[in-house]
Structure 1
Amino acid sequence: MLNLRSPIVVHALIAITSFLVLSSVLFFLLYNTYELKNQHYYLAEKKSIEEEYGRNVRDDKLFPGGAHIIESYVIPHMLELEQQYHTNPKGFNELRQRLMDSIFAALKKANSVDSILEQASQKYQLRRDLSYALTFQVLNVNFRNSEKGITLFNIREQNPLIKSVPLMQDGALVGGTLQERNKQNQITNLTVSSGGDYTYTIVYSLHVDTANRKVAILRLMLPNLLLSLFSILAVVTIYFITFRNWQKQKKLSEMKSDFINSITHEFHTPLSAIFVANKSLRNERIIANQQNIPALTDVIQRQAERLKHLIGQVLNITTLGQIPLNAKPHSLHALLEEIMLDYRLKVAGSNIHLTFIKEATRDAAMVDQFWFTTLMLNMLDNGVKYNTQSEKLLTVKTTSDKKYCYISIADNGIGMNKETRERVFEKFYRSIKNNNQQIKGLGLGLYYAKQAADAHQWKINVQSTPGEGSMFIITIPL
């Protein structure tokens, strides 16, 4: 699960939120800039084209000759349209659509708006790639007396029989290819009518624009776009550098804390053994037997060397993040005998009973003696620390097969639930309480044990039931 209290997660959320806010503000500013340029874009050219177009169609409709084409179809059919309108509405509907289909076909064929735009381009030195759309919206006719405004064509009505031109949402497209038609690129929208009987009224529009208006405007905005992108990249880069430096400082701080914690945890066992051996050497009853003295001095020598080695090793694991091994062939039984001897001396006079069972028939393996000792001592300490029995029992047992030697460390402690078993090797993990008092320790013992096993490429498995103790099994290749 995502830990929302983690400093990294908090910083990430703040960074993402800030980035979204900054991006939204920049997008809003760019959008307003685009709308402003869109409103003023093509303003001078629009006036020039409007002037040239108006001069060419001043006494005409749509384009030069357009009025003659419309009248050549409408006027001869006026009486027939009037009769059908009064006597046969269905026939009138079909007649008007066929008539409009013929008108649109003739207008499309005779369309000369291209020539008008060419003239305007030459006259006003317009160098842009222009597209246009000439759309026809309405044609109404006036019959005799009060019968006025009878619709022959309206883009809002159904006209399924008209096939000669595309019927768009804003009108019948009788010329041009411009797809996006709006107020910004509208040159003219005219309603031309005449009074009297048997006359007509038409509504049409002309839109002219560059072939791709949006791309052209975005090109004009390119400096603004590049500056915005540069600003975002600069902010992201600065934040990334700052965040990376913060992580480095945080890592250095954690390394210092780890080093102190490691010393506190790892130095405890050899120091305890030295104190016990030294105390024994000062006991007249013990040193009366001269055979005890070499064994005790060996313990002091061995643990002093371990302390010396420990200083360098702990520094390595905290600065390098990994364990440097010096593995050599060893007898696991011989190493375990030494570890058991030192540990028995440490817990002498307590309620801790340590048993060593050697059932392995093969015990030779590549081992770093220092880290194997660290592993075993931490396993034994764990079995003692998390144990509330009046007699704390620890059993170390070896078995073997053709490929592996197995070392099991069993205790009669408080055991572990499923969650604890899954997290027991995590650094600083501590979840178990004893009589409502937090058990002393830093949560590093089993972490170091796992680190040592991983460095050897060994495996550690744990079997445990709450209230019934735990057993750790180390699998070592022979």
Structure 2
Amino acid sequence: MLSSFIKKIRENVPTAILTAAVLGALLLQLNLLSGQLELQRQQFESQIGTTSSRLSERVRLFVRRKSMGSFSSNANVDSVFTINTPMGQTTVRWSNAQIHPPYGIGTRDTTMLGGMLDNFQSSLPWSTQLDVTELDSIIANELKQNGVRTEPVWALIENGYLSTLTSEGFDPEKVTFNYVLAESFFGPTRQLLLYFPSEKFYLAKRVYLSLVASLLFSTVILTAFFGVQRQGRRQKRLANVKSDFINNMSHEFKTPLATINLAVDAIIKNGDKMDADQIRNYLAVIKTENKRMNAQMESVLQMSMMDKEELTLQRTQMSIEHVVVEAVEHFKLSVAQRNGWIDLVVSPGSYTYFGDPTQFKSALTNLIDNAIKYSSDVPMVSVKLSEEDHDFVIVVKDRGIGMNEETTSQVFDRFFRATKGNIHDVKGHGLGLSFVQEIVDKHGGLIDVQSKIGVGSTFIIKIEKNQ
């Protein structure tokens, strides 16, 4: 029990190591990508922080230019402008007689007026000096200057209350940034709340090259991993079926060789006492077993030729009906000896085809022989030949033991046998159906199988008609 457990662990060590290596590489990729995203996030927050720190100055300059604009509108009259305050309106009048060069706007010295306006602005709410469109434009321009290229949703809080300066669609639940723009002894007097609806996509886009490279690398790793795993399972299965094949071949050769050996020994020891008929019977046994071995070797050589792509078709004008009839007739006697039957139904039609009659008949013979071998004690096999618009159709149906889905999916694999649990219950070495499929493929056809345990199997061959 313990040795079996240790053996399984040893067998799975390479797979475990490979799996750990792949997972480690994927985790490393995710960690690097996470680091890139975090770095971009920090840079993003820094850019927004820089924007908020400069926002008050930008608003002050904007309001000042906006207020001073009235002085440049008319050079010949006194200037008048009004500033709204919570206590009412404050009107400032400026007479041209009070203006002296050289500083200011044109010929006007605005130094004193600018200082006075700054004092007013610092004590007034922004909502009395700006509208939503103006503040939105200032915020957007500042963000762009600091490298932020995604649109924000924002709101302004002044003296603890939500200001009317709030962008459309603002949702307090989604706020991710909160910056204090002004404060007094009692706490913040002006705050800017921000969030970015496309923040995650924007940050991902900033690292898209790393993201694409990481995804590509991960895809390559996973593809290679699953490819190696699949190939490993395939090689393991192939090793198992090859082991079965060797055991089957040993058995198939051992039996006829033993029979031949017994016949030869009998002739050597008692040949002088045998009459001509007895010797002839022993020789017939030797010839039969020799033919049996030769047939087995021929099938193995055929598969070897297929591996080397040396098997070529000798195409000629042939009758598929004639070939099918010959293949069925070949088994009628052996089936009758087991009290079974094999019938053939040929639908009316023209079955002339340009192919290799020898190889085609060999494929059908293998297919019918397989149906008989895997039948019950009394074989019952039906063969039907018909034609469709573009294909010839050959159906071989038995009432045998049938196959499950797993066996059906592997039945055309080389060396595969459905009776792996008892390799000697049915004679063969797992090459017959593989050979059949190869011949059908070389004729440009398709072969399919339908099977159910305890009911039987149906093989369907479709060969495209010659044009």
With normalisation by structure 2, the TM-score equals 0.49
With normalisation by structure 1, the TM-score equals 0.48
